[in-house]
Amino acid sequence: MPSKVSLSMTVVLLLLFASIASARTWKSADGGYSVEAELVKVDGDKVALKRADGQTITVPLNRLSTEDQEFIKSQSVPAPDASMEDAATKALEEKGLRALSRGLILDDETKFSKEERDSSKFKRVLFTKDKELATIKKQEAMIRERITGMTQANVQFNAQLTQLGPTDITLNNRLVGAINANVAQIRLMEQQLIEIEKAAKNSRAEASKAREDYIEHILGLRKLADSINNRYAELAADPTIKETVSKLNSTSENSYELGASTAFKSALIRLKSMEDSILSEEIPLRDDGGNAMMVSVVINGEHNVEMHVDSGASLISLPFTMAAKCGIQVTSEDPEIILELADGSRITAHVKTIPLVRVGKFEVKDVECAVLSPAAVNAAPLLGMSFLGQFKFELDAQKGVLNMVKIETESTSSRSR
């Protein structure tokens, strides 16, 4: 029999089975150690004893005294009911639970773990697209700067020409040649600029999509995480599940607890960090080349469109074709209204309700919008007050951002989040 110190190394936390015998004194084969304990079970050549302090120790059978070994042979110690354990495990699996060494875990944790790892892929794509757009915009700025420089040079050359006398033929020819060369170069760069602007438009659209994909991914992760937590709460409150877990623990050497794993809890911390980093209150805008600022808007969680931010518009306004592409169909039952456009003209529109509109992290349910008549071919889509009015917002044209703060009122909290 090992010493008291070495025997303590064998102590493990086990499920406390109902004892079949009262406490007795157990002695080691060499008589050097004894302990007051109850016999819990015999598993092969191992004996489980429960001490007075409630701890269960496992001792090799051949390390016990001959008297103790004879006592064990005289007892009928029930072995774990494997069939009951299998039945309990199967019942829990039907509820989406798996019995692992770290506890009873929902299968959806595996799905969440995979999707959480995919976040880095979405972020890399976003970083790459933003970098590509920045490079194109830098090229565009350089070309514009060169065009401006050559145009200014030609202004100076033309001013010098007006001051030349009739005998300054050589200098006149040089100036005219320089002007013509600059004009040709400017025309060439203007053609390059057209191509660069096209590339910038495409790159901006790709960067916008990558940003929306990343945001959608994070929103999806949050939705799945909340679903998992809610499911754990439901299962924990289910009497049938409680009874099944109890049966499993009564027939298993392990003690299982129902609840989120440590890995899932750690992933939730990382998710919160991602939410804090990308779901900013500053929504990126872009200049449409005129006086309006454009923002990316997601309609019904799947249609990404760019709209003019217009606090002067009472409703979201959508051209007929764009509305149709977003699945918004006008019927004869929809109310008809008259709208006045920016140029003073008036046009008919039909009022519709969009189930969900999102800008950045800000979502509003059941938003009224005006679907313009098909005659308004050149009308721009407007993000109006039926959405913006749910928030405190400020348009910062200098920084190119829309600052939005959720207004927590009783009327808006049920429609926005």
Task: Delimit the domains of the chain by residue range.
Answer: 4-74, 108-276, 280-413
pLDDT of residue 102: 65
pLDDT of residue 283: 86
d(CA 305, CA 316): 12
> Could you say which architecture CATH assigns to the domain 280-413?
Beta Barrel (2.40)
CATH number, domain 4-74: 2.30.30.700
pLDDT of residue 11: 30
d(CA 111, CA 104): 16
pLDDT of residue 81: 53
Q: What is the pLDDT of residues 277-332, one digit of tens each?
A: 765 568 888 877 667 888 999 999 889 999 999 988 889 999 999 999 999 999 88
* Residue 164: how many other CB atoms lie within 10 Å: 12
pLDDT of residue 82: 55
d(CA 286, CA 92): 53
Question: Residue 103, class by beta-carbon neighbours within 10 Å (0-12 exposed, 13-18 middle, 19+ buried)?
Answer: middle
pLDDT of residue 395: 85
pLDDT of residue 13: 28
Question: Residue 146, class by beta-carbon neighbours within 10 Å (0-12 exposed, 13-18 middle, 19+ buried)?
Answer: middle
pLDDT of residue 251: 74
Whole-prediction pTM value?
0.53
Question: Residue 276, class by beta-carbon neighbours within 10 Å (0-12 exposed, 13-18 middle, 19+ buried)?
Answer: exposed
pLDDT of residue 109: 92
- Give which of 202, 229, 76, 71 is closest to 140, Cα–Cα: 202
Residue 239 in tokens? 């009497």
- Give which of 371, 373, 374 is closest to 352, Cα–Cα: 371
Stretches where the chain sits below pLDDT 70 are 1-22, 76-82, 102, 278-281, 289-290, 342, 405-417
